[in-house]
């Protein structure tokens, strides 16, 4: 025997144990849906997670069972993250912004056994509960004083955990067991589940903290604006448990003034979110003449960071970290930080680098390939399909949806990019058929199907067009049936009760024909090219 290292699995319970044992007094501040701000520490949060684990135990929640959440970023949601995963069940974060039918589909596909929800979603729960047979109980994140009367009657979170033991013997799990589940709508067809493991989550958390990633330290005060239902808020709750940074959770208030006041009051040094929220924050700061002297770094991801945004933050002395990733990647893949060689460059040259999506972080390997799968040079000019692999990148979707998704061990991201000789990746296009508006996916195929259901529509194509606030908005390009009488408003009215309001196309453009590929498929690439000079009404 030559000797060896201890065989200790990387578990979410170990993150929680570490947080409680080594930075038990680090603060967690959260804005509540009921109003007001709650303050707690890892010591208290750890105890409450144990109390919740006892509840799950009493309910008979088994290893691998899915437990859902419909909630904003708040303390109770963090407790649920840790209690569910650490006890061996799977924490399934559900995106409440989806259309109710999609939420029902997702809950049924996940076979969630219990669902925790914020009071913002009482009506939603009442609407969907009768169609979710696997869910044995719905639990409102509130206390008895604020409990709503509803049908079905929900359970009260605080009442459930009150008086329970504040210690729990977390099970010794295999680090490759599933810990959490998040569905992506960023693919064609039905949403697909991405199952993270304890190992992938802990490795990803380490990486989030690295200096060239988000650089999270115990001296930070971190406010994740990115929702906890979007890929675990980019791993921030785990990174905080790992480092002992102060955590500030904004609850439902994601508008500029609310974020700015919370950041100022709590001394936030690091924040993360999609470009749309930063537009709101920057607009407010400018109009109110407010400054955020403590804020050092803003991580921008989920969609491309516009140059003006990077510049505006830079003028305030705030560094932008442009990041790229996917639900399928836990999510971080690349982050843009400068190298020593950039120190002497002009500010314009540095800005050009910062606009790129960045260099791969350890754990993620990248390549770009042509249509035949041949690797393209990393010369900053050739662009091709971006492929990834690594220990926190999906190998297959939940329940095998979509079949075998790897190509020679690589996952095709559906993004098209360049990689330059320094390793900086720059997204140039997207090959997947989805539209991303304000950080949320809209299925172009769903829009097309709803439009085609109209008797006057011969063919319809949905594409995303640039929008200054939402990054992209959908429009429909429609060929009418010969002699048919159809207007923009008639078609939109027809679609109104079938899709979420924010999915509604911003415009309908009528055309004589649509471009097709040699195999007869709609060519979105050519259509986008045809509509290159199109501008949304009023933009």
Residue 342 makes CB contacts below 8 A (sequence gap 6+) with 349, 350, 353
- 436 as an active site residue: the answer is yes
Is residue 168 involved in binding ligand AMP (CB under 6 A)? Answer: no
- In angstroms, the CA 101 to CA 106 distance is 9
- In angstroms, the CA 172 to CA 165 distance is 20
Least Cβ distance, residue 93 to ligand AMP (angstroms): 13
Is residue 14 involved in binding ligand AMP (CB under 6 A)? Answer: no
Q: How is residue 205 annotated by DSSP? A: H
Residue 130 makes CB contacts below 8 A (sequence gap 6+) with 152
Long-range contacts of 404-408 (CB under 8 A, 24+ apart): 407/373, 408/373
Q: Which of 138, 324, 392, 441 is catalytic?
A: 441
Is residue 303 involved in binding ligand AMP (CB under 6 A)? Answer: yes
Least Cβ distance, residue 327 to ligand AMP (angstroms): 3
Residue 5 makes CB contacts below 8 A (sequence gap 6+) with none
- In angstroms, the CA 33 to CA 30 distance is 10
Tell me the window of 256-264, 363-371, 411-419, 508-516 that interacts with ligand AMP (CB under 6 A): 411-419
Is residue 304 involved in binding ligand AMP (CB under 6 A)? Answer: yes
Least Cβ distance, residue 273 to ligand AMP (angstroms): 12
Is residue 470 involved in binding ligand AMP (CB under 6 A)? Answer: no
- Residues 252, 302, 363, 438: which binds ligand AMP (CB under 6 A)? 302
- In angstroms, the CA 273 to CA 250 distance is 12
- Residues 85, 413, 418, 437: which binds ligand AMP (CB under 6 A)? 413
Burial of 523 (0-12, 13-18, 19+ CB in 10 A): middle
Tell me the window of 101-109, 301-309, 506-514, 525-533 that interacts with ligand AMP (CB under 6 A): 301-309
What residue ranges in 208-273 does DSSP mark as E strands? 221-224, 246-249, 270-273
Binding-site string for ligand AMP from residue 27 to residue 66, where x marks contact by CB under 6 A and - marks none = ----------------------------------------
Least Cβ distance, residue 320 to ligand AMP (angstroms): 11
Tell me the window of 40-48, 195-203, 341-349, 408-416 that interacts with ligand AMP (CB under 6 A): 408-416
3-class DSSP state of 288 = helix
Q: Which of 328, 440, 448, 472 is catalytic?
A: 328
Q: Is 468 left (phi over 0), alpha (psi -120 to 50) or beta?
A: alpha
Binding-site string for ligand AMP from residue 209 to residue 238, where x marks contact by CB under 6 A and - marks none = ----------------------x-------
Tell me the window of 121-129, 135-143, 285-293, 409-417 that interacts with ligand AMP (CB under 6 A): 409-417
Q: Which of 80, 113, 142, 184 is catalytic?
A: 184
- Residues 46, 68, 96, 186: which binds ligand AMP (CB under 6 A)? 186
- In angstroms, the CA 109 to CA 261 distance is 40
Q: In this complex, which beta carbon is closest to ligand AMP, that of residue 248 or of residue 274?
A: 274
Q: In this complex, which beta carbon is closest to ligand AMP, that of residue 175 or of residue 415?
A: 415
Number of residues that bind ligand AMP (CB under 6 A): 21
- 184 as an active site residue: the answer is yes
Instruction: State the sign of the Cα–Cα–Cα–Cα dihedral 342, 346, 349, 350.
Output: positive
Max intra-chain CA distance, the chain: 84
Is residue 427 involved in binding ligand AMP (CB under 6 A)? Answer: yes
Residue 121 makes CB contacts below 8 A (sequence gap 6+) with 70, 71, 96
Q: In this complex, which beta carbon is closest to ligand AMP, that of residue 31 or of residue 356?
A: 356
User: Are 29 and 37 spatial neighbours (Cβ–Cβ below 8 Å)?
Assistant: yes
Is residue 442 involved in binding ligand AMP (CB under 6 A)? Answer: no
Q: Which of 436, 440, 472, 503 is catalytic?
A: 436
- Distances 99 to 25, 147, 214, 304 between C-alpha atoms, Å: 40, 25, 32, 25
Q: In this complex, which beta carbon is closest to ligand AMP, that of residue 440 or of residue 506?
A: 440
3-class DSSP state of 435 = strand
Is residue 499 involved in binding ligand AMP (CB under 6 A)? Answer: no
- In angstroms, the CA 301 to CA 276 distance is 10
- In angstroms, the CA 161 to CA 51 distance is 5
Residue 99 makes CB contacts below 8 A (sequence gap 6+) with 499, 500, 503
- In angstroms, the CA 534 to CA 513 distance is 16
Q: In this complex, which beta carbon is closest to ligand AMP, that of residue 445 or of residue 453?
A: 445
- Residues 56, 326, 394, 461: which binds ligand AMP (CB under 6 A)? 326
Is residue 301 involved in binding ligand AMP (CB under 6 A)? Answer: yes
User: Are 85 and 198 spatial neighbours (Cβ–Cβ below 8 Å)?
Assistant: yes
Is residue 16 involved in binding ligand AMP (CB under 6 A)? Answer: no
| Residue 262: φ, ψ to 5° | -65, -40
Tell me the window of 90-98, 218-226, 321-329, 506-514 that interacts with ligand AMP (CB under 6 A): 321-329
Q: Is 344 left (phi over 0), alpha (psi -120 to 50) or beta?
A: alpha
Least Cβ distance, residue 355 to ligand AMP (angstroms): 10
- In angstroms, the CA 322 to CA 262 distance is 23
3-class DSSP state of 508 = strand
Least Cβ distance, residue 218 to ligand AMP (angstroms): 28
Q: In this complex, which beta carbon is closest to ligand AMP, that of residue 31 or of residue 436?
A: 436
Residue number, nearest CB to ligand AMP: 327
Is residue 327 involved in binding ligand AMP (CB under 6 A)? Answer: yes
Q: In this complex, which beta carbon is closest to ligand AMP, that of residue 94 or of residue 323?
A: 323
Q: In this complex, which beta carbon is closest to ligand AMP, that of residue 221 or of residue 231?
A: 231
Under the rule (CB under 6 A), what is the footprint of ligand AMP? 184, 186, 231, 301-304, 322-324, 326-327, 331, 357, 413-415, 427, 430, 436, 441
Known catalytic residues are 184, 328, 436, 441
């Amino acid at each position: 025997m030559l000797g060896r290292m201890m065989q200790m699995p990387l578990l979410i319970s170990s993150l929680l144990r570490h947080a409680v044992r080594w930075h038990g007094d680090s603060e967690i501040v959260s804005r509540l849906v009921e109003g007001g701000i709650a303050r707690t520490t890892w010591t208290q949060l750890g105890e409450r997670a144990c109390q919740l684990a006892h509840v799950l135990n009493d309910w008979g929640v088994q290893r691998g069972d899915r437990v859902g959440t419909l909630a904003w970023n708040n303390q109770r949601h963090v407790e649920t993250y840790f209690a569910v995963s650490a006890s061996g069940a799977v924490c399934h974060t559900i995106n409440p912004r989806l259309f109710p039918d999609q939420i029902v589909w997702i809950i049924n596909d996940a076979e969630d056994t219990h669902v925790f929800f914020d009071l913002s979603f009482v009506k939603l729960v009442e609407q969907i509960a009768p169609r979710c047979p696997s869910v044995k109980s719905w639990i409102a994140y509130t206390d008895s004083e604020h409990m709503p009367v509803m049908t079905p009657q929900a359970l009260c979170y605080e009442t459930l955990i009150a008086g329970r033991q504040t210690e729990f013997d977390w099970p010794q799990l295999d680090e490759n067991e599933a810990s959490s589940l998040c569905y992506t709508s960023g693919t064609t067809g039905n949403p697909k589940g991405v199952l993270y493991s304890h190992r992938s989550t802990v490795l990803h958390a380490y990486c989030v903290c690295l200096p060239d990633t988000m650089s999270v330290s115990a001296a930070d005060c971190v406010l994740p604006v990115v929702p906890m239902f979007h890929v675990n808020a980019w791993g921030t709750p785990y990174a905080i448990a790992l480092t002992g940074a102060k955590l500030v959770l904004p609850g439902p208030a994601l508008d500029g003034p609310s974020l700015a006041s919370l950041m100022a009051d709590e001394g936030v040094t690091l924040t993360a979110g999609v470009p749309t929220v930063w537009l709101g924050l920057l607009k407010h700061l400018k109009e109110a003449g407010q400054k955020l002297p403590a804020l050092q770094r803003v991580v921008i991801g989920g969609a491309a960071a516009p140059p003006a945004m990077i510049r505006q933050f830079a003028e305030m002395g705030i560094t932008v970290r442009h990041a790229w990733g996917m639900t399928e990647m836990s999510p971080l893949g690349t982050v843009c930080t400068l190298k020593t060689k950039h120190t002497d460059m002009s500010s314009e040259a540095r800005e050009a680098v910062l606009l790129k999506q960045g260099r791969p972080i350890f754990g993620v390997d990248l390549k770009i390939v042509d249509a035949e799968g041949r690797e393209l040079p990393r010369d900053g000019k050739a662009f091709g399909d971006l492929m990834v692999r690594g220990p926190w990148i999906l190998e297959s979707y939940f329940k095998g949806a979509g079949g075998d998704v790897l190509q020679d061990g690589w996952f095709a991201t559906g993004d098209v990019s360049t990689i330059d000789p320094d390793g900086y990746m720059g997204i140039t296009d997207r090959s997947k058929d989805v539209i991303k508006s304000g950080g949320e996916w809209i299925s172009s195929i769903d829009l097309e199907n709803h439009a085609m259901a109209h008797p006057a529509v011969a063919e319809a194509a949905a594409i995303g067009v640039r929008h200054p606030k939402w990054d992209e908005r959908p429009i429909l390009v429609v060929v009418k049936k010969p002699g048919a009488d159809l207007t923009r408003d008639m078609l939109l009215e027809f679609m109104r009760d079938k899709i979420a309001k924010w999915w509604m196309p911003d415009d309908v453009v009528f055309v004589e024909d649509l471009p097709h590929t040699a195999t007869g498929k709609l060519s979105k690439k050519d259509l986008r090219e045809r509509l290159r000079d199109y501008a949304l009404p009023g933009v």
